[in-house]
Chains A and B, each alone.
Chain A
Amino acid sequence: MLAKRIIPCLDIKDGRTVKGVNFVGLRDAGDPVELGKLYSEQGADELVFLDITATVDKRKTLAELVKKIAKNINIPFTVGGGIRSVEDANVLLESGADKISVNSAVVRNPQLINDLADNFGSQFVVVAIDAKNVDGEWKVHLNGGRLPTDLNLLEWTKECEDRGAGEILFTSMNHDGTKQGFENEMLAKMSSELSIPIIASGGAGSMEHFYDVFTEGKADAGLAASIFHFKEIEISDLKKYLNKKKISVRI
Protein backbone atom coordinates (compact mmCIF):
# COMPACT_ATOMS: atom_id res chain seq x y z
CA MET A 1 0.00 0.00 0.00
CA LEU A 2 1.26 3.45 -0.90
CA ALA A 3 1.97 5.32 2.34
CA LYS A 4 0.48 8.72 3.15
CA ARG A 5 3.27 11.29 3.35
CA ILE A 6 4.13 13.71 6.16
CA ILE A 7 6.00 16.76 4.91
CA PRO A 8 7.51 19.51 7.08
CA CYS A 9 7.95 22.83 5.34
CA LEU A 10 10.94 25.08 6.08
CA ASP A 11 10.97 28.78 5.22
CA ILE A 12 14.41 29.97 4.15
CA LYS A 13 15.75 33.52 4.05
CA ASP A 14 19.30 34.27 2.92
CA GLY A 15 20.17 30.60 3.33
CA ARG A 16 18.84 30.34 6.90
CA THR A 17 15.66 28.88 8.37
CA VAL A 18 13.27 31.55 9.59
CA LYS A 19 10.19 31.53 11.82
CA GLY A 20 10.81 30.69 15.42
CA VAL A 21 12.37 27.31 15.36
CA ASN A 22 12.74 25.92 18.84
CA PHE A 23 14.89 22.85 18.98
CA VAL A 24 17.11 21.40 21.60
CA GLY A 25 19.91 19.21 20.41
CA LEU A 26 20.63 21.20 17.28
CA ARG A 27 23.93 22.98 17.12
CA ASP A 28 22.37 25.62 14.93
CA ALA A 29 18.60 25.69 14.60
CA GLY A 30 18.87 28.24 11.82
CA ASP A 31 20.71 25.84 9.53
CA PRO A 32 18.16 24.38 7.11
CA VAL A 33 20.35 21.36 6.41
CA GLU A 34 20.63 20.44 10.06
CA LEU A 35 16.93 20.92 10.68
CA GLY A 36 16.02 18.99 7.52
CA LYS A 37 18.27 16.15 8.61
CA LEU A 38 16.66 16.03 12.03
CA TYR A 39 13.17 15.87 10.46
CA SER A 40 14.27 13.10 8.16
CA GLU A 41 15.64 11.12 11.12
CA GLN A 42 12.30 11.58 12.89
CA GLY A 43 10.52 10.03 9.92
CA ALA A 44 9.58 12.88 7.58
CA ASP A 45 8.80 11.43 4.15
CA GLU A 46 9.83 14.50 2.18
CA LEU A 47 10.92 18.06 2.86
CA VAL A 48 9.83 21.34 1.31
CA PHE A 49 12.19 24.32 1.38
CA LEU A 50 10.56 27.62 0.53
CA ASP A 51 12.94 30.48 -0.19
CA ILE A 52 11.55 33.86 0.78
CA THR A 53 14.73 35.85 0.13
CA ALA A 54 14.07 38.99 -1.85
CA THR A 55 17.61 40.03 -2.78
CA VAL A 56 19.23 39.85 -6.21
CA ASP A 57 21.78 37.31 -5.06
CA LYS A 58 18.95 34.93 -4.33
CA ARG A 59 19.60 32.51 -7.17
CA LYS A 60 23.18 31.86 -6.25
CA THR A 61 22.48 31.48 -2.52
CA LEU A 62 19.60 29.11 -3.22
CA ALA A 63 21.58 26.92 -5.61
CA GLU A 64 24.35 26.60 -3.04
CA LEU A 65 21.88 25.69 -0.34
CA VAL A 66 20.18 23.09 -2.57
CA LYS A 67 23.53 21.46 -3.18
CA LYS A 68 24.19 21.29 0.55
CA ILE A 69 20.76 19.76 1.18
CA ALA A 70 21.19 17.21 -1.62
CA LYS A 71 24.56 16.17 -0.26
CA ASN A 72 23.31 15.62 3.26
CA ILE A 73 19.72 14.42 3.07
CA ASN A 74 18.64 10.99 1.85
CA ILE A 75 14.92 11.60 1.26
CA PRO A 76 13.24 13.58 -1.55
CA PHE A 77 12.97 17.33 -1.26
CA THR A 78 11.20 20.16 -3.07
CA VAL A 79 12.50 23.69 -3.47
CA GLY A 80 10.28 26.70 -4.12
CA GLY A 81 10.36 30.47 -4.14
CA GLY A 82 10.70 32.81 -7.08
CA ILE A 83 11.20 30.25 -9.87
CA ARG A 84 10.16 32.07 -13.04
CA SER A 85 11.79 30.22 -15.91
CA VAL A 86 13.11 26.92 -17.18
CA GLU A 87 16.61 28.32 -16.61
CA ASP A 88 15.83 29.05 -12.92
CA ALA A 89 14.59 25.48 -12.55
CA ASN A 90 17.57 23.99 -14.37
CA VAL A 91 20.02 25.58 -11.94
CA LEU A 92 18.16 23.91 -9.06
CA LEU A 93 17.98 20.54 -10.83
CA GLU A 94 21.70 20.64 -11.47
CA SER A 95 22.29 21.45 -7.82
CA GLY A 96 20.38 18.30 -6.87
CA ALA A 97 16.74 19.28 -6.25
CA ASP A 98 14.24 16.44 -6.74
CA LYS A 99 11.26 18.72 -7.35
CA ILE A 100 10.55 22.40 -7.66
CA SER A 101 7.44 24.20 -6.58
CA VAL A 102 6.02 27.04 -8.67
CA ASN A 103 3.20 29.35 -7.67
CA SER A 104 2.58 32.93 -8.85
CA ALA A 105 4.85 32.62 -11.90
CA VAL A 106 2.70 29.92 -13.51
CA VAL A 107 -0.53 31.83 -12.92
CA ARG A 108 1.03 34.73 -14.82
CA ASN A 109 2.50 32.40 -17.44
CA PRO A 110 0.73 29.01 -17.49
CA GLN A 111 2.83 27.84 -20.44
CA LEU A 112 5.74 27.61 -17.96
CA ILE A 113 4.12 24.44 -16.52
CA ASN A 114 4.27 22.79 -19.97
CA ASP A 115 7.83 23.97 -20.51
CA LEU A 116 8.99 22.67 -17.12
CA ALA A 117 7.25 19.32 -17.60
CA ASP A 118 8.65 18.92 -21.13
CA ASN A 119 12.16 19.74 -20.02
CA PHE A 120 12.36 17.90 -16.71
CA GLY A 121 9.35 15.57 -16.54
CA SER A 122 6.13 16.00 -14.57
CA GLN A 123 7.61 14.39 -11.47
CA PHE A 124 9.78 17.52 -11.10
CA VAL A 125 6.91 20.01 -11.15
CA VAL A 126 4.82 20.74 -8.07
CA VAL A 127 2.30 23.54 -8.56
CA ALA A 128 1.60 25.33 -5.27
CA ILE A 129 -1.71 27.14 -5.04
CA ASP A 130 -2.84 29.56 -2.32
CA ALA A 131 -6.60 30.03 -2.40
CA LYS A 132 -9.25 31.67 -0.32
CA ASN A 133 -12.95 31.00 -0.03
CA VAL A 134 -14.69 34.35 -0.51
CA ASP A 135 -18.48 34.16 -0.21
CA GLY A 136 -18.54 30.51 -1.27
CA GLU A 137 -16.17 30.93 -4.19
CA TRP A 138 -12.61 29.64 -4.10
CA LYS A 139 -10.23 32.14 -5.70
CA VAL A 140 -6.53 31.71 -6.35
CA HIS A 141 -4.27 34.30 -4.68
CA LEU A 142 -0.76 35.37 -5.65
CA ASN A 143 2.37 36.76 -4.01
CA GLY A 144 2.06 34.71 -0.86
CA GLY A 145 -1.67 35.33 -0.70
CA ARG A 146 -1.53 39.12 -0.86
CA LEU A 147 -2.94 39.47 -4.35
CA PRO A 148 -6.40 38.07 -5.18
CA THR A 149 -7.19 36.93 -8.74
CA ASP A 150 -10.41 35.91 -10.50
CA LEU A 151 -9.06 32.46 -11.14
CA ASN A 152 -11.32 29.66 -9.89
CA LEU A 153 -9.41 27.15 -7.76
CA LEU A 154 -10.78 23.88 -9.16
CA GLU A 155 -10.54 25.04 -12.77
CA TRP A 156 -6.97 26.10 -12.18
CA THR A 157 -5.98 22.77 -10.60
CA LYS A 158 -7.39 20.94 -13.65
CA GLU A 159 -5.51 23.22 -16.01
CA CYS A 160 -2.30 22.57 -14.04
CA GLU A 161 -2.82 18.82 -14.40
CA ASP A 162 -3.54 19.10 -18.13
CA ARG A 163 -0.42 21.18 -18.65
CA GLY A 164 1.76 18.57 -16.96
CA ALA A 165 1.96 19.33 -13.22
CA GLY A 166 3.08 16.25 -11.26
CA GLU A 167 1.52 17.20 -7.92
CA ILE A 168 -0.65 19.96 -6.47
CA LEU A 169 0.23 21.63 -3.16
CA PHE A 170 -2.93 23.36 -2.02
CA THR A 171 -2.92 25.84 0.86
CA SER A 172 -6.25 27.08 2.14
CA MET A 173 -5.71 30.66 3.28
CA ASN A 174 -8.88 30.42 5.34
CA HIS A 175 -7.28 27.66 7.37
CA ASP A 176 -3.59 28.56 7.34
CA GLY A 177 -2.34 29.47 10.80
CA THR A 178 -5.65 28.68 12.51
CA LYS A 179 -4.65 25.22 13.79
CA GLN A 180 -8.29 24.20 13.38
CA GLY A 181 -7.71 21.47 10.80
CA PHE A 182 -7.32 21.24 7.03
CA GLU A 183 -9.91 22.24 4.39
CA ASN A 184 -11.11 18.67 3.91
CA GLU A 185 -14.18 19.33 1.81
CA MET A 186 -12.29 21.12 -0.95
CA LEU A 187 -9.42 18.67 -0.76
CA ALA A 188 -11.74 15.68 -1.23
CA LYS A 189 -13.36 17.35 -4.20
CA MET A 190 -9.99 18.12 -5.75
CA SER A 191 -8.81 14.59 -5.16
CA SER A 192 -11.86 13.08 -6.86
CA GLU A 193 -11.50 15.31 -9.92
CA LEU A 194 -7.75 15.07 -10.44
CA SER A 195 -5.61 12.02 -11.05
CA ILE A 196 -2.36 13.53 -9.72
CA PRO A 197 -1.43 13.50 -6.00
CA ILE A 198 -2.59 16.31 -3.71
CA ILE A 199 -0.51 17.73 -0.86
CA ALA A 200 -2.70 19.40 1.76
CA SER A 201 -1.48 22.49 3.57
CA GLY A 202 -2.89 25.00 6.02
CA GLY A 203 -4.58 24.40 9.35
CA ALA A 204 -2.72 21.52 10.98
CA GLY A 205 -2.98 21.82 14.75
CA SER A 206 -3.27 18.27 16.07
CA MET A 207 -2.63 14.66 15.14
CA GLU A 208 -6.35 14.13 14.53
CA HIS A 209 -6.19 16.79 11.83
CA PHE A 210 -3.80 14.59 9.87
CA TYR A 211 -6.08 11.58 10.32
CA ASP A 212 -8.98 13.68 9.02
CA VAL A 213 -7.08 15.02 6.02
CA PHE A 214 -6.15 11.50 4.90
CA THR A 215 -9.64 10.07 5.41
CA GLU A 216 -12.21 12.86 4.84
CA GLY A 217 -9.86 15.04 2.80
CA LYS A 218 -8.51 12.10 0.74
CA ALA A 219 -5.14 13.87 0.54
CA ASP A 220 -1.99 12.00 -0.47
CA ALA A 221 0.28 14.06 1.77
CA GLY A 222 -0.06 16.47 4.67
CA LEU A 223 2.25 19.47 5.00
CA ALA A 224 2.82 21.64 8.05
CA ALA A 225 5.40 24.06 9.42
CA SER A 226 4.96 25.60 12.84
CA ILE A 227 3.55 22.58 14.69
CA PHE A 228 6.73 20.71 13.79
CA HIS A 229 9.08 23.65 14.34
CA PHE A 230 7.68 24.34 17.80
CA LYS A 231 7.62 20.64 18.62
CA GLU A 232 3.90 20.70 19.31
CA ILE A 233 3.83 17.44 17.38
CA GLU A 234 6.77 15.15 16.80
CA ILE A 235 6.74 13.41 13.46
CA SER A 236 7.55 10.02 14.97
CA ASP A 237 4.60 10.31 17.40
CA LEU A 238 2.31 11.44 14.60
CA LYS A 239 3.22 8.42 12.51
CA LYS A 240 2.70 6.02 15.40
CA TYR A 241 -0.70 7.57 15.98
CA LEU A 242 -1.70 7.31 12.31
CA ASN A 243 -0.46 3.73 12.12
CA LYS A 244 -2.59 2.81 15.11
CA LYS A 245 -5.57 4.39 13.36
CA LYS A 246 -4.93 2.13 10.32
CA ILE A 247 -3.58 4.86 8.07
CA SER A 248 -0.75 3.47 5.99
CA VAL A 249 2.43 5.37 6.87
CA ARG A 250 6.12 4.61 6.61
CA ILE A 251 7.50 3.73 10.05
Chain B
Amino acid sequence: MKIAIIDYHAGNVQSVKFALERLGANGFLTSDSEEISSADKVIFPGVGEASSTMNHLQKLGLEKIIPNLKQPVLGVCLGMQLMCSHSEENDTDCLNIIPQKVVRFRPKSKKTKVPHVGWNKISVKNDSWISEQLSEEYVYFVHSYFVEVGEFTIATTDYVQPFSAALQKDNFYATQFHPEKSGSVGEQILKDFLKNT
Protein backbone atom coordinates (compact mmCIF):
# COMPACT_ATOMS: atom_id res chain seq x y z
CA MET B 1 0.00 0.00 0.00
CA LYS B 2 1.34 3.43 -0.97
CA ILE B 3 0.65 5.97 1.74
CA ALA B 4 1.49 9.58 0.91
CA ILE B 5 2.06 11.98 3.79
CA ILE B 6 1.61 15.56 2.60
CA ASP B 7 4.70 17.63 3.43
CA TYR B 8 3.94 21.37 3.32
CA HIS B 9 5.96 23.19 6.02
CA ALA B 10 3.45 22.39 8.72
CA GLY B 11 5.43 21.12 11.67
CA ASN B 12 6.38 17.68 12.79
CA VAL B 13 5.24 15.50 9.89
CA GLN B 14 8.08 12.99 10.44
CA SER B 15 6.28 11.60 13.47
CA VAL B 16 3.38 10.42 11.28
CA LYS B 17 5.86 8.51 9.12
CA PHE B 18 7.46 6.96 12.20
CA ALA B 19 4.05 5.99 13.61
CA LEU B 20 3.19 4.16 10.38
CA GLU B 21 6.55 2.38 10.52
CA ARG B 22 5.74 1.15 14.03
CA LEU B 23 2.59 -0.41 12.55
CA GLY B 24 4.62 -2.07 9.82
CA ALA B 25 3.29 0.30 7.13
CA ASN B 26 5.36 2.57 4.94
CA GLY B 27 4.50 6.19 4.35
CA PHE B 28 6.46 8.66 2.26
CA LEU B 29 6.65 12.43 2.66
CA THR B 30 5.78 14.34 -0.47
CA SER B 31 4.46 17.64 -1.77
CA ASP B 32 4.25 16.40 -5.35
CA SER B 33 0.69 16.44 -6.69
CA GLU B 34 1.27 13.44 -8.97
CA GLU B 35 2.61 11.33 -6.10
CA ILE B 36 -0.25 12.38 -3.84
CA SER B 37 -2.93 11.69 -6.45
CA SER B 38 -1.59 8.23 -7.25
CA ALA B 39 -1.18 7.02 -3.64
CA ASP B 40 -3.55 4.42 -2.17
CA LYS B 41 -4.10 6.50 0.95
CA VAL B 42 -3.17 10.04 1.88
CA ILE B 43 -2.41 11.52 5.27
CA PHE B 44 -2.73 15.29 5.62
CA PRO B 45 -1.05 16.18 8.93
CA GLY B 46 -0.01 19.52 10.29
CA VAL B 47 0.44 21.88 13.18
CA GLY B 48 0.84 25.64 13.00
CA GLU B 49 -1.18 28.64 11.95
CA ALA B 50 -4.06 28.35 9.47
CA SER B 51 -3.48 31.24 7.03
CA SER B 52 0.26 30.71 6.53
CA THR B 53 -0.15 26.96 6.05
CA MET B 54 -2.99 27.59 3.54
CA ASN B 55 -0.48 29.82 1.74
CA HIS B 56 2.04 27.00 1.66
CA LEU B 57 -0.61 24.69 0.17
CA GLN B 58 -1.44 27.28 -2.49
CA LYS B 59 2.22 27.80 -3.36
CA LEU B 60 2.55 24.05 -3.88
CA GLY B 61 -0.67 23.99 -5.92
CA LEU B 62 -2.17 21.51 -3.48
CA GLU B 63 -5.31 23.50 -2.61
CA LYS B 64 -6.86 22.25 -5.87
CA ILE B 65 -5.51 18.69 -5.62
CA ILE B 66 -6.58 17.72 -2.09
CA PRO B 67 -10.35 18.39 -2.41
CA ASN B 68 -10.48 16.24 -5.54
CA LEU B 69 -8.72 13.19 -4.13
CA LYS B 70 -10.77 10.00 -4.45
CA GLN B 71 -8.78 7.69 -2.19
CA PRO B 72 -9.16 7.75 1.63
CA VAL B 73 -7.59 10.91 3.07
CA LEU B 74 -6.89 11.38 6.78
CA GLY B 75 -6.55 14.95 8.06
CA VAL B 76 -4.81 15.33 11.41
CA CYS B 77 -5.02 18.39 13.71
CA LEU B 78 -4.45 21.43 11.49
CA GLY B 79 -4.95 19.14 8.49
CA MET B 80 -8.48 18.46 9.74
CA GLN B 81 -9.14 22.16 10.29
CA LEU B 82 -7.92 23.04 6.80
CA MET B 83 -10.39 20.49 5.36
CA CYS B 84 -13.23 22.61 6.75
CA SER B 85 -14.87 25.66 5.16
CA HIS B 86 -13.47 28.52 7.20
CA SER B 87 -11.18 29.12 10.19
CA GLU B 88 -11.49 31.99 12.58
CA GLU B 89 -7.69 31.89 12.90
CA ASN B 90 -6.70 34.99 10.91
CA ASP B 91 -10.04 34.78 9.07
CA THR B 92 -8.86 32.04 6.72
CA ASP B 93 -10.86 30.42 3.93
CA CYS B 94 -9.96 26.74 3.96
CA LEU B 95 -10.37 23.86 1.50
CA ASN B 96 -14.15 23.55 2.05
CA ILE B 97 -14.19 19.76 1.80
CA ILE B 98 -16.25 19.41 4.96
CA PRO B 99 -18.77 22.25 5.42
CA GLN B 100 -18.08 22.93 9.11
CA LYS B 101 -16.49 25.90 10.84
CA VAL B 102 -13.31 26.28 12.87
CA VAL B 103 -13.55 28.66 15.83
CA ARG B 104 -11.44 29.59 18.85
CA PHE B 105 -11.94 28.28 22.40
CA ARG B 106 -13.43 31.04 24.53
CA PRO B 107 -13.40 29.85 28.13
CA LYS B 108 -15.54 31.79 30.59
CA SER B 109 -12.84 31.77 33.24
CA LYS B 110 -9.08 32.02 33.22
CA LYS B 111 -8.91 28.68 35.01
CA THR B 112 -9.46 26.97 31.68
CA LYS B 113 -6.27 27.15 29.67
CA VAL B 114 -5.95 27.76 25.95
CA PRO B 115 -4.39 25.97 24.07
CA HIS B 116 -6.08 22.71 24.99
CA VAL B 117 -2.91 20.66 25.57
CA GLY B 118 -2.79 17.10 26.79
CA TRP B 119 -4.84 13.94 27.07
CA ASN B 120 -8.63 14.03 26.90
CA LYS B 121 -11.40 11.49 26.28
CA ILE B 122 -13.22 10.88 23.03
CA SER B 123 -16.79 9.76 22.65
CA VAL B 124 -17.28 7.87 19.37
CA LYS B 125 -20.55 7.54 17.41
CA ASN B 126 -21.85 4.10 16.39
CA ASP B 127 -20.80 2.69 13.03
CA SER B 128 -18.04 5.14 12.32
CA TRP B 129 -14.54 4.48 11.02
CA ILE B 130 -13.12 4.67 14.55
CA SER B 131 -13.92 1.57 16.64
CA GLU B 132 -16.71 2.33 19.06
CA GLN B 133 -14.80 0.48 21.78
CA LEU B 134 -12.36 3.40 21.85
CA SER B 135 -15.06 5.60 23.36
CA GLU B 136 -13.95 7.03 26.70
CA GLU B 137 -10.29 6.40 25.86
CA TYR B 138 -7.73 9.19 26.14
CA VAL B 139 -5.99 10.73 23.13
CA TYR B 140 -3.48 13.59 22.82
CA PHE B 141 -4.58 17.08 21.75
CA VAL B 142 -2.73 20.36 21.12
CA HIS B 143 -4.89 23.15 19.68
CA SER B 144 -6.47 26.54 20.33
CA TYR B 145 -9.12 26.34 17.60
CA PHE B 146 -11.71 23.62 17.12
CA VAL B 147 -14.29 22.36 14.65
CA GLU B 148 -17.86 22.88 15.87
CA VAL B 149 -20.04 19.81 16.24
CA GLY B 150 -22.00 19.24 13.03
CA GLU B 151 -23.38 16.81 10.52
CA PHE B 152 -20.01 15.18 9.79
CA THR B 153 -18.83 14.85 13.40
CA ILE B 154 -18.23 11.21 14.33
CA ALA B 155 -16.48 11.71 17.68
CA THR B 156 -16.62 14.49 20.24
CA THR B 157 -14.51 15.67 23.16
CA ASP B 158 -15.57 18.05 25.88
CA TYR B 159 -13.33 21.04 26.62
CA VAL B 160 -15.00 24.38 27.35
CA GLN B 161 -17.80 22.83 25.25
CA PRO B 162 -18.26 19.68 23.17
CA PHE B 163 -16.29 19.92 19.90
CA SER B 164 -15.47 17.64 16.96
CA ALA B 165 -12.68 15.21 17.87
CA ALA B 166 -13.12 13.36 14.57
CA LEU B 167 -14.98 13.85 11.30
CA GLN B 168 -15.92 11.96 8.18
CA LYS B 169 -17.41 12.97 4.87
CA ASP B 170 -17.21 10.53 1.95
CA ASN B 171 -13.54 9.55 1.51
CA PHE B 172 -12.32 12.27 3.87
CA TYR B 173 -11.53 11.27 7.45
CA ALA B 174 -10.10 13.51 10.15
CA THR B 175 -9.00 13.72 13.77
CA GLN B 176 -8.35 16.84 15.83
CA PHE B 177 -6.11 14.84 18.15
CA HIS B 178 -2.76 13.33 17.18
CA PRO B 179 -3.17 9.56 16.71
CA GLU B 180 0.59 9.36 16.04
CA LYS B 181 1.23 10.59 19.60
CA SER B 182 -1.69 8.96 21.40
CA GLY B 183 -0.03 5.75 22.60
CA SER B 184 -1.72 2.42 21.86
CA VAL B 185 -5.16 4.04 21.39
CA GLY B 186 -3.73 6.25 18.66
CA GLU B 187 -2.12 3.24 17.02
CA GLN B 188 -5.49 1.50 16.94
CA ILE B 189 -7.05 4.54 15.24
CA LEU B 190 -4.32 4.64 12.59
CA LYS B 191 -4.88 0.91 12.05
CA ASP B 192 -8.63 1.58 11.71
CA PHE B 193 -7.88 4.13 9.02
CA LEU B 194 -5.53 1.78 7.17
CA LYS B 195 -7.87 -1.22 7.39
CA ASN B 196 -11.45 0.07 7.44
CA THR B 197 -11.32 2.79 4.83
Contact = CB atoms under 8 A, between A and B. Distances in A.
B93 interface: no
Interface of A: 1-3, 5, 40, 45, 70-72, 74-76, 93-98, 120-124, 166-167, 192, 195-197, 218, 220-221, 250
A96 B117 contact: no
A72 B120 CA distance: 23
A70 B119 contact: no
B169 interface: no
A76 B138 CA distance: 14
Interface of B: 11-12, 14-15, 18-19, 21-22, 47-49, 110-111, 113-121, 138, 140, 142-143, 158-159, 178, 180-184, 186-187
Given A70-B18, A75-B181, A121-B47, A2 B115 contact: no
Q: Which of B12, B21, B47, B143 has the most CB of A within 10 A?
A: B12
Contacts, number: 91
Contacts of A94: 14
Contacts of A192: 110-111
B48 A74 contact: no
Contact of A1 (B14, B111, B158, B186): B158
Given A2-B159, A121-B48, A76 B11 contact: no
B119 A98 contact: no
B15 A98 contact: yes
A83 to B, nearest CB: 15
Given A74-B182, A93-B11, A120-B11, A250 B18 contact: no
26 contacts: A1-B121, A1-B158, A2-B116, A2-B118, A3-B119, A70-B18, A74-B180, A74-B182, A75-B140, A76-B178, A94-B14, A96-B12, A98-B15, A120-B11, A121-B11, A123-B47, A123-B142, A124-B12, A166-B142, A167-B117, A192-B111, A196-B114, A197-B113, A197-B118, A220-B113, A220-B117
Contacts of B143: 123
A75 B138 CA distance: 12
